[in-house]
């Protein structure tokens, strides 16, 4: 009872709820499932380097098998993405199959297939939520990142959803140097469509690694973003991706912790299971749903996930006065900028990340994502160099579950209460 | 949010859109309509919630779950939290 009343302790005592989360749940609370690497766009910052379909993609029947398994494991919902998931010809079939099997669906789309008819159909289901990607409040800012015409496509999809009476769908914005001056405009767009704004962090994953230097917010903008998020509170979702900004002052709404391999994970189009949606790299690969025992075996017994559920070291950051709220930041952001995982985040608000980036050896190779599915017409193959960086995640606050993470987590926004029935303040995904 | 406290003498049910997932510590509840998550932080509370469907009142469910009289108020507060997040609804005849 009142397990979360217990004062913070360095040594976890058995029986506390938080420990159950730290040691991983028998099933994830939700997971990210990239259904395809195929995409009609070629966004410059794509986390999964999407473009071309992988011929090894899971078949319809295999996808249904995964859904059956998620149902058995009582995974409440999946965040479907890609690529552009709606370009799979069996997409709606799979959405219907999931919701008919008690697995809720939230899917991310650039809006290309959200016709008035589709919008009608989506509006009639309580079990499906939609997230439209938009990276500029104006076409000029958006289309530089997402491609010509993509702004109009997104706005048309939002209009269709709104006209169909679908309220509360999400508008998902990756915050960049170019669009942070537009935060109020994004909010106005969301209000206009009865939608909810969701801001997330630009990560140097996938093709994002190529553009991170030019696109990631300046330190002044980080401060501006933090102040804006504090002012807008829980009306704006963040997927808990900005916990490294908590060192500016009070913690932002959300749990502000990394749940990779503990309460969240990623399944990619060919069935590979990764600990973190932002780290498609062999260092974070736990197994494949096609292997014996399927997803459940990977989730419960893979060597990597077992390791991630062990107590972690905070390393160089532990002595920082802000470690308690920042926890050293994002594992994926560090990994793909070549920084040690137990050191500062590259966007550390105290500037330690910049120092660490400057101190990287000149000849040090930065880890690249394992798969480049970019359209060959638009992107050249990138050199594949590798650095071995041991996987670990930073020390969590002992009195709080390591939930959420940058990932898509209904616990983001949850604060421990004193009652016996805890509750999230909402899905802050 | 101002909502009157749970009346233990009324019948309550788990919201039809709520899924209950047992966990070693109790259970996770997910509401597909509100897309919110809740915890049941102990097994007794889970037993009460499970017993609601066959009980004519929340008090009866507490008894069925073996709750001592002195603990009933504490569990009523927990049920309150679940009502506020729409995980439980009053049974309508």
Q: Between chains, do B41 and A3 touch, taking CB under 8 Å as contact?
A: yes
Structural contact between residues A185 and A139, judged by C-beta atoms closer than 8 angstroms:
no
A chain contacts of residue B23, beta-carbon cutoff 8 Å: 20, 25-26
Is the Cβ of A336 closer than 8 Å to some Cβ of chain B?
A: no
A–B interface: beta-carbon pairs under 8 A: 98
In three-state secondary structure terms, A249 is: coil
DSSP E strands in A21-68: the ranges are: 30-34
Alpha-carbon span A351 to A368, nearest angstrom:
24
Query: Can you read off the two tokens belonging to residue A4?
Result: 């979360």
Is the Cβ of B19 closer than 8 Å to some Cβ of chain A?
A: yes
Which of B17, B23, B45 is opposite residue A421, by nearest beta carbon? B45
Q: Between chains, do B82 and A410 touch, taking CB under 8 Å as contact?
A: no
Q: What is the pLDDT of residue A392?
A: 53
Q: What is the pLDDT of residue A418?
A: 34
Structural contact between residues A132 and A171, judged by C-beta atoms closer than 8 angstroms:
yes
CA distance, residue B93 to nearest chain A CA (Å): 25
Structural contact between residues B46 and B26, judged by C-beta atoms closer than 8 angstroms:
yes
Alpha-carbon span A195 to A119, nearest angstrom:
14
Alpha-carbon span A17 to A180, nearest angstrom:
37
Alpha-carbon span A257 to A98, nearest angstrom:
28
Q: What is the pLDDT of residue A397?
A: 43
Cα separations (Å) of A375 from A31, A89, A372? 27, 19, 9
Alpha-carbon span A386 to A64, nearest angstrom:
35
ipTM of this complex prediction, to 2 decimal places: 0.84
Alpha-carbon span A269 to A83, nearest angstrom:
9
In three-state secondary structure terms, A233 is: helix
Q: What is the pLDDT of residue A74?
A: 94
Q: What is the dihedral of CA A390, A395, A401, A403, to 10 degrees?
A: -40
Structural contact between residues B27 and B21, judged by C-beta atoms closer than 8 angstroms:
yes
Q: Between chains, do B36 and A421 touch, taking CB under 8 Å as contact?
A: no
A chain contacts of residue B30, beta-carbon cutoff 8 Å: 29, 76-77, 104, 410
How high is the mean pLDDT in each 10-residue block of chain A (429 residues)?
30 46 80 97 95 97 98 95 96 97 96 98 93 98 98 98 96 98 98 96 94 95 95 85 83 69 92 93 95 96 91 78 82 91 90 89 73 74 50 46 39 40 41
Is the Cβ of B79 closer than 8 Å to some Cβ of chain A?
A: yes
Is the Cβ of B14 closer than 8 Å to some Cβ of chain A?
A: no
Which H helix or E strand runs over A105?
strand A104-109
| C-beta pairs of A87-95 under 8 Å, 24+ apart in sequence | A87/A36, A87/A38, A87/A39, A87/A40, A87/A112, A87/A113, A88/A35, A88/A36, A88/A38, A90/A60, A90/A63, A91/A35, A92/A118, A93/A60, A94/A35, A94/A60, A94/A63, A94/A64, A94/A67, A95/A128
Alpha-carbon span B48 to A42, nearest angstrom:
52
Residues of chain B with pLDDT under 50: 1-2
Identify the CA nearest to A51 among candidates A386, A384, A383, A371.
Answer: A371
Q: What is the pLDDT of residue A367?
A: 81
Number of H helices, E strands in chain B: 3, 5
């Amino acid at each position: 009872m009142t397990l979360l009343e217990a004062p913070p302790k360095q040594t976890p005592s058995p029986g506390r709820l938080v420990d159950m989360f730290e040691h991983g749940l028998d099933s994830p609370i939700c997971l990210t499932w990239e259904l395809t690497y195929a995409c009609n766009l070629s966004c410059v910052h794509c986390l999964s380097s999407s473009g071309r379909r992988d011929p090894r993609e899971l078949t319809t029947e295999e996808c249904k098998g995964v859904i059956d398994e998620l149902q058995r494991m009582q995974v409440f919902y999946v965040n479907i993405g890609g690529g552009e998931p709606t370009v799979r010809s069996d997409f709606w079939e799979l959405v219907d199959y999931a919701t008919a099997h008690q697995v809720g669906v939230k899917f991310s789309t650039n809006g290309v297939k959200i016709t008035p008819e589709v919008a009608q159909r989506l509006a009639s289901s309580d079990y499906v939520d939609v997230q439209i990607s938009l990276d500029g409040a104006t076409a000029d800012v958006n289309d530089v990142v997402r491609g010509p015409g993509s702004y109009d496509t997104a706005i048309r999809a939002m209009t269709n959803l709104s006209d169909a009476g679908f309220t509360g769908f999400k508008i998902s914005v990756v915050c960049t140097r170019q669009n942070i001056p537009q935060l109020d405009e994004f909010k106005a767009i969301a209000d206009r469509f009865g939608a909810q704004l969701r801001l997330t962090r630009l990560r140097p994953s996938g093709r994002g690694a190529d553009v991170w230097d030019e696109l990631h917010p300046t330190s002044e903008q980080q401060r501006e973003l933090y102040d804006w998020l504090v002012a807008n509170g829980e009306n704006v979702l963040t997927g808990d991706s900005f916990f490294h900004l908590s060192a500016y002052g009070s913690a932002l709404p959300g749990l502000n912790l990394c749940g990779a391999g503990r309460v969240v994970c990623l399944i990619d189009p060919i069935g590979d299971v990764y600990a973190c949606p932002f780290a498609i790299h062999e260092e974070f690969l736990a197994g494949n749903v096609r292997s014996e025992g399927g997803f459940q075996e990977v989730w419960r017994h893979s060597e990597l996930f077992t390791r991630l559920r062990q107590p972690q070291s905070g390393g160089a950051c532990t002595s920082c006065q802000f470690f308690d709220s920042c926890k050293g930041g994002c594992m994926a952001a560090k990994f793909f900028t070549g920084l040690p995982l137990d050191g500062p985040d590259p966007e550390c608000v105290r500037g330690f990340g910049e120092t660490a980036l400057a101190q990287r050896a000149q000849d040090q190779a930065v880890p690249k994502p394992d798969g480049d599915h970019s359209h060959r017409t638009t992107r050249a193959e990138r050199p594949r160099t590798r650095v071995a960086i041991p996987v670990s995640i930073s020390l969590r606050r002992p009195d709080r579950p390591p939930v959420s993470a940058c990932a898509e987590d209904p616990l983001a926004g949850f604060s421990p209460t004193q009652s016996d029935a805890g509750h999230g303040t909402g899905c802050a995904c | 949010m101002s909502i009157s406290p749970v009346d233990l003498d009324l019948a309550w049910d788990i919201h039809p859109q709520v899924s209950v997932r047992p966990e070693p510590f109790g259970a996770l509840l997910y509401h597909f309509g509100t897309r919110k998550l809740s915890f049941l932080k102990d097994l007794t509370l889970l037993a009460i919630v499970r017993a609601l469907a066959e009980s004519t009142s929340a008090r009866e469910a507490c008894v069925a779950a073996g709750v001592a009289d002195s603990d009933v108020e504490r569990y009523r507060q927990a049920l309150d939290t679940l009502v506020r997040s729409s995980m439980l609804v009053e049974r309508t005849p």
